Structure 1
Amino acid sequence: MADRRHDPVVVIGLGRFGSSLALELAEQGTEVLAVDHRPKIVQALAGQLTHIATADSTDIEALRQLGVPDFYRAVVAIGSDIEASILTTSLLVELGIDDIWAKAISRQHGRILERIGAHHVVLPEHDMGERVAHLVAGRMLDYIQVDENFALAKTHPPRELVGVSLGETRLRSKYAVTVVCVKSPGEDFTYATTDTVLRYDDIIIVAGRVDKVERFAEL
């Protein structure tokens, strides 16, 4: 199977999310075609993005004229205009785009996008709110939910894990989580092993089911 990671990407909708995404992709060396129906937005970003156009993404002929059917991957980053988001996504499906990412502003919006053919749906505001809620409410230093019921958390080790090897703590059988990485002050992150001995000022990355990770972080 061909590696498509570096294929050009079309980003449709250049609000905060879409413009940040397009600029970051371009910074990483990915060729980007950025599209928005607002001339002022396009003009403002023209100096930072090589390929950018003003067009109505709900018009299939406009998409064809821009060469959108030639792209393997597309991102529909349209924000509050749900109708335009849904119609644009459906047109990308009709044009045969193989990998469609679509931004949703609610779970209901996301379900509709999935039903009409979006391969990936992201809810950036919801996901960020969920992440910040975990940081505000608990003792985690960072939190990422990587699947519906699996998460990674960055935290300090609880007292009972300090001073003994991870193998002796029986961490996985007691709490159903795994310490993946460890960072001591002034050092880089390293992989944790059964022989790793944690200190109070270490930072650890813990992986496991969401409820198990949350429970562990509150120890």
Structure 2
Amino acid sequence: MADRTKKEPERDAGVLVIGLGRFGSAIAVTLDRLGQDVLAVEHDETKVAQYSGRLPLVQADATNPEALEQLGARDFGMAVVGIGSSLEASVLVTANLVDLGTPQIWAKAVTAEHGRILQRIGAHHVVYPESDAGARVAHLVSGKMLDYIQVEDDFVIVKMRPPMEMQGFTLAQSDVRRRYGVTVIGVKSSGREFVYATPETRVAASDFIVVSGHEDVLERFSSRP
């Protein structure tokens, strides 16, 4: 009779990054710099030579499930598939990781169709770095926003200069939440640390404000003089 008390080996908290293009290499280098346990996997000899000595790195063809087994992919708790140039390779690698039972799979997609395929075969998170970057830059160049983060659906957080009607007044006095439907999260003054906003927080013309709200509302608010 089989031993029912036998448990599967616990997976490591490390991150497996497959593909060292711009997206994958940025993730791997950043994780390594942050002290995370990361292993990069790349098939191309040129890229392997480029990052050799800079990252924990193995040269392997991750479209081959046996290669993933040999490098210990089963032991990682998270994997990032950074392949975007080849739809076939991206799908094969993601499918291999799904078959290995990887708990968290992040996969790069270059089109909506690519993303739908990755989701259908089992990727837990699909990201669109080019599309997301393009949309973010469009918001920045179209108004007075200095930074833009889409949190969920149409809810966003932006960094911007305060409109004139806020300058020199406290948040209670300017009352932008009631008047415009936006919430000021915090204020950053030159030479001072970021402070979370309270009704008594006074805003200067030289300050940066961090504001949250719905996308269309913040677009209108950020365009105020």
Taking the TM superposition and a 5 Å limit, the aligned residue runs for 1:8-19 are 8-19=14-25
Taking the TM superposition and a 5 Å limit, the aligned residue runs for 1:61-140 are 61-140=66-145
Q: Percent identity?
A: 53
After superposition, the CA RMSD in angstroms is 1.3
Q: CA deviation at 1:96?
A: 0.1
SS at match of 2:191: coil
Structure 2 unaligned runs (5+)? 1-11
Structure 2 residue corresponding to 1:184, chosen from 173, 180, 189: 189
164-173 or 13-22: bigger deviation = 164-173
Please identify the structure whose Cα radius of gyration is greater: 2
37-46 or 76-85: bigger deviation = 37-46
Q: CA deviation at 1:202?
A: 1.0
- 1:28 aligned residue: 34
How far, CA to CA, are the matches of 1:100 and 1:138 in structure 2?
36
SS at match of 2:24: helix
Q: CA deviation at 1:168?
A: 2.8
- 2:59 aligned residue: 54
Structure 2 residue corresponding to 1:208, chosen from 203, 207, 213: 213
- 1:3 aligned residue: none
SS at match of 2:145: coil
Structure 1 unaligned runs (5+)? 1-5
* 2:158 corresponds to 1:153: yes
SS at match of 1:75: strand
How far, CA to CA, are the matches of 1:216 and 1:107 in structure 2?
31
SS at match of 1:141: strand
Provide, for residues 185-210 of structure 1, a one-character-per-residue CA deviation record: whole Å limited to 9, x for no partner: 22121111111111111110001111
Report the count of equivalent residues. 213
